Structure 1
Amino acid sequence: MNKYIEVMKVYFKVQFIWRADVLFSVFFSVTRIIFAYLLWNAIFAGESMINGFSLNSMMSYYIIQSFLSQMDMSKKISTEISMSVRQGTFTKYLILPINTEGYFISMMLGKIPSYLVWDILSAMVWVLVFRIDFVFITNLSAIIGALCLIVLGFLFMIQLNFLLGILVFKYEEISTFLLIKDNVVLLVTGGIIPLALFPEWILNIMKMLPFYYITYLPSMIFIGQSCVNEIITGLIVMIFWCGMMQISIIKYWKNNVKMYDGVGI
């Protein structure tokens, strides 16, 4: 366990060296909130409620959803693995005396705190700038349940991106897979529009998949727009999908890591 903690410490310190990366990441998150404000302010013109949302609750949703999305930096895992395998430098991960997947999980955990501070500050600034009456629940059990969903959601995304990254053992180019994943995930996690605005039959399908519970449901719970009873269902679904993803990683790693010969292209 100490080895993983040391990895977390190293990447925590690295974030203070590459401060520009953090600031640009926060900037793009804020830009998305601005676009959402301009769009929904125009849509709500003359309307007090749309499908159960007020303008304040809608903007509260976007701020929380954007905040949670910003915390998920796991897509860098697939890019890092792909590049290191293609360049023949992936060996540096294989010779470490720790599990490779565990290394990348620790890496993400080490990066999150620095982003967390800046994202909280930017969210507070935009609440004041737009004079939003920020909506947030006070039910402690619901907050804890939503936080558990967030942890499982981040774990699933790390697993997904790790699996996509090691596809490069078998496929020379995986950029198409990553492009499709990024765009699909943005939609199905409620990053573009709240999933509550989708038809009911689409929602029923999404509730069987993990993406519904990663950032969308926690955001809805935090603003009081979702039934707390969904937390139990969400935890069960996420535990199932995290387990299935881990089985897939173990099988694929075992069958394909031998294809890596440590030579770049």
Structure 2
Amino acid sequence: MMSVSTCLEFIRIRFLTMLAYRVNYYSGIIIYAINIGAYYFLWKAIYGDQPSLAGFTAAQMTTYVAVSWMARAFYFNNLDREIASEVRDGSVAVQMTRPYSYLMVKMMQGFGEGLFRLLLFMVPGMVIACLLFPVKLPTDPKAWAVYLVMLFFSFLINSQLNILTGLCAFFIENIDGMIRMKRVLVDLFSGVIVPIAFLPGWLSAAMQWLPFQAITYLPSAFFTGRTPLGEAGSALGLQLLWFVALLLPITFMWRSARKRLFVQGG
């Protein structure tokens, strides 16, 4: 097990690494603002004169769109591509000989990137979104506290899915197509593009058995007020359940991957 100080050091190093390329993320704020604007006007046209659809009022949907995209800025990372690249160039063999958990290092690096995105991407992006669009933020401090916890679980679950995808590189030499497919599935079924409540009944029911909703839909639905504060415990419990459940396939794949590893070049 890694010590707390070691974990903090990996987080700090990744944060400083991201800070060196911060200009890319400043431009990303503009891109996300454009995405939010596009979806805002799309949903505005869909709602028309109707007060609510699928349990979302027009005001809640505006907030949902802004919060979902800004949350994505925090939990998004490229751990899958990093693992695949290290397997491909053979550097993963060196990583595995070091006296710390390879997967834990990846998680800490992803969290360092997430903190950078939170402070220099998500927060300023949310400020801009509030200035440009009629976003209504909750005023109850408890709602903010619960949402931050749910957002942290969003990062954990999304990172676990990325790690699972990245570990496939130990068995399949090229997983670029798999990575692209995974990102499309996460964006679509987590609720970033369309809230799960708007999906057809059979598909919405199927999503209850998949971890995607725990990444975006559950936190954003709570933040907009569609899920009341009294039901936050069940949403948090579902996120915790998926976090624990995903540890099992990760552990199994990691054990199999270590036995199967072969290095090309390096």
Match of 1:85 in 2: 87
Asked if the contact 1:221–1:228 (Cα under 8 Å) also holds between the matched residues in 2, the reply is yes
Asked if the contact 2:70–2:125 (Cα under 8 Å) also holds between the matched residues in 1, the reply is no
Displacement of 1:219 after TM fit? 0.9
RMSD: 2.2
Match of 1:38 in 2: 41
Structure 1 gap ranges (5+) = none
Number of aligned residue pairs: give it.
Answer: 262
Q: What SS does structure 2 have at the residue aligned with 1:98?
A: coil
Query: Structure 1 counterpart of 2:66, which letter?
Result: I
C-alpha distance in structure 1 between counterparts of 2:102 and 2:38, whole Å? 39
Q: Any residues of structure 2 matched to 1:110-129 within 5 Å, and which?
A: 110-117=112-119, 118-129=121-132
Q: Any residues of structure 2 matched to 1:72-111 within 5 Å, and which?
A: 72-74=75-77, 76-111=78-113
1:165-224 deviation line (CA, Å, top 9, x unaligned): 111111112122212211111111111112222244433332332221221111111111
What TM-score, normalized by structure 2, do the two folds share?
0.88
Of stretches 250-259 and 41-50 in structure 1, the one that deviates more from structure 2 is 41-50
Match of 1:195 in 2: 196
Q: Any residues of structure 2 matched to 1:227-242 within 5 Å, and which?
A: 227-242=228-243
Structure 2 gap ranges (5+) = none
1:43-94 deviation line (CA, Å, top 9, x unaligned): 23444443443433211111100011111123x0010111111112223422
Q: Any residues of structure 2 matched to 1:46-195 within 5 Å, and which?
A: 46-74=49-77, 76-117=78-119, 118-130=121-133, 132=134, 134-195=135-196
C-alpha distance in structure 1 between counterparts of 2:115 and 2:130, whole Å? 21
Q: Does 1:18 align with 2:21?
A: yes
Of stretches 7-16 and 21-30 in structure 1, the one that deviates more from structure 2 is 21-30
C-alpha distance in structure 2 between counterparts of 1:84 and 1:244, whole Å? 26
